[in-house]
Structure 1
């Protein structure tokens, strides 16, 4: 069927907006194209969803603090009130203890965590891509996964001393074991149809690895990175048992000796806040690297 000239869509409706001049000499914008209008609507929808999630997050935190204050003020739970914890946080912030402890723990976690994922990702790719490497490395990885990183502390003290090295090593081991398995699973779970299609099109192994395997494995890798980050913060308290003189874990252990619950809570909340901020950074990187992936 052939459309009459009057029924055909006007191509001008799909062009970009341009300046037009009326008979009176006034300048105005031409009607916006349909594609730009749809893009702006999608962007506004995305911003609205993010604002809605942020509002829910804030409300959830406020509700949690209110519930905590209600139970502790009424004496139902033998814990410090939010006001007492806030006062202690102000005191530690003024005398500099809070900042020095947070900086020490953050430096240890960052060092061990970054070293762990820097080693885990290449090894995970090797295990997933080469069967020989998998056969050689996997037994060691599975063996050390069954040993808690905290159990390595006595060995680390004896072999590495009591300086920063054993603390960072224990955190490194924790993040490494979490990330290497996720990377390995990401490689072995790549859709074989994609690899075969690339081979049919004449791609070599290196091109397939770079253009197919790595992008398809990124969602798994980023999950492993997030798990490794959580494991690093979970390990730092025990790692600071190794003759530490500063750090949030060290401060908690000192407060335990004097039954100083507000100080313990300040350190706990500080660890949670720092871990949450680092997790949000990892999520932002994940969103950038896996922008092609459809997500809820």
Structure 2
């Protein structure tokens, strides 16, 4: 009898323990925790960077200007409208060159990835020009296109295009063949397969290529504004170099970094919206 009663007592005890256990708060189950840690780490990194910069400037490392002189110089350039004008000029060139480069890179990458004939014809040229730095084409661009805005935008366009076209091509080439075959079995035409299967599956690759192309566009900006520019962040930094004006150079560097970071964050936000269907890790 005692052996039969033991499981009953155990079950009763477990039921009592379960009944006395605290219940989770309403809505607590499955609620994602707020992701504030990356922002805190970013702010800490920013504070540490400014502190390290101030320490190096105070130690007199190679006449390095501190944060305060750079901030004062930025205020002066903002007050007379110079910094705003330069930022708008550089932003216009980068946006135009980057947009044109991306718009050209996506269809070319799709053609290379979807049609073997197009890949055989285009890939040698793409790989050839990828080995040539866009900056090396500046003399040729000046000779062929003059010294106006066209060669500046062309150099930026080329940097963005070469970075994005490979990503678009790789995105199409890496589409799971099972998805394509399943769509064909269901009777989908090539056009439907391309629009409904290939394009969504390659979207993450395209967005990564766009981010890389954006970085290349901003990295090419300063050299592009060597071509007889009268305004722009790169132009202002080159003028400051002639007079050893380090605060102005730092203002230009920070402005380029901030503009590039904002555009990159916007691309990340766009990528999350376009690829929300994907599984997140």
Matched residue, 2:103: 118
Post-superposition offset of 1:78? 2.9
Q: How many Å separate the matches in 1 of 2:126 and 2:59?
A: 50
Q: How many Å separate the matches in 2 of 1:90 and 1:278?
A: 23
User: Of residues 252, 277, 283 in structure 1, which corresponds to 2:237?
Assistant: 252
**TM-score, normalization: structure 2?**
0.88
Matched residue, 2:193: 208
Q: How many Å separate the matches in 2 of 1:115 and 1:76?
A: 42
User: Of residues 138, 151, 156 in structure 1, which corresponds to 2:141?
Assistant: 156
Matched residue, 1:4: none
Matched residue, 1:191: 176
Structure 2: unaligned runs, 5 residues or longer: 1-25
Q: Which has the higher contact order (CA 8 A, sep 6+)?
A: 2
Q: How many Å separate the matches in 2 of 1:219 and 1:286?
A: 7
User: Of residues 59, 77, 87 in structure 2, which corresponds to 1:92?
Assistant: 77
Q: How many Å separate the matches in 1 of 2:37 and 2:87?
A: 31
Post-superposition offset of 1:292? 1.5
Post-superposition offset of 1:74? 2.2
Cα-to-partner distance string for 1:140-186 (whole Å, 9 max, x where unaligned): 11111111101111111111111101000000000000000000000
Structure 1: unaligned runs, 5 residues or longer: 1-33
Residue 237 (structure 2) pairs with residue 261 (structure 1): no
Residue 251 (structure 2) pairs with residue 286 (structure 1): no
User: Of residues 209, 212, 226 in structure 2, which corresponds to 1:241?
Assistant: 226
Post-superposition offset of 1:38? 4.6
Q: How many Å separate the matches in 2 of 1:164 and 1:55?
A: 41
Cα-to-partner distance string for 1:217-246 (whole Å, 9 max, x where unaligned): 011100000000000000010000000000
Bigger shift: residues 96-105 or 68-77: 68-77
C-alpha contact 1:120 1:177 (8 A) present in aligned 2: yes
Matched residue, 1:61: 46
User: Of residues 251, 255, 260 in structure 2, which corresponds to 1:270?
Assistant: 255
Cα-to-partner distance string for 1:114-160 (whole Å, 9 max, x where unaligned): 00000100110000000111111111111111111011111111111
Q: How many Å separate the matches in 2 of 1:73 and 1:240?
A: 33
Q: How many Å separate the matches in 2 of 1:200 and 1:284?
A: 35
C-alpha contact 1:71 1:77 (8 A) present in aligned 2: no
User: Of residues 96, 101, 109 in structure 1, which corresponds to 2:94?
Assistant: 109
Matches within 5 A, 1:215-234: 215-234=200-219
Matched residue, 1:295: 280
**TM-score, normalization: structure 1?**
0.84
SS at match of 2:63: coil
Post-superposition offset of 1:201? 1.6
Post-superposition offset of 1:77? 4.6
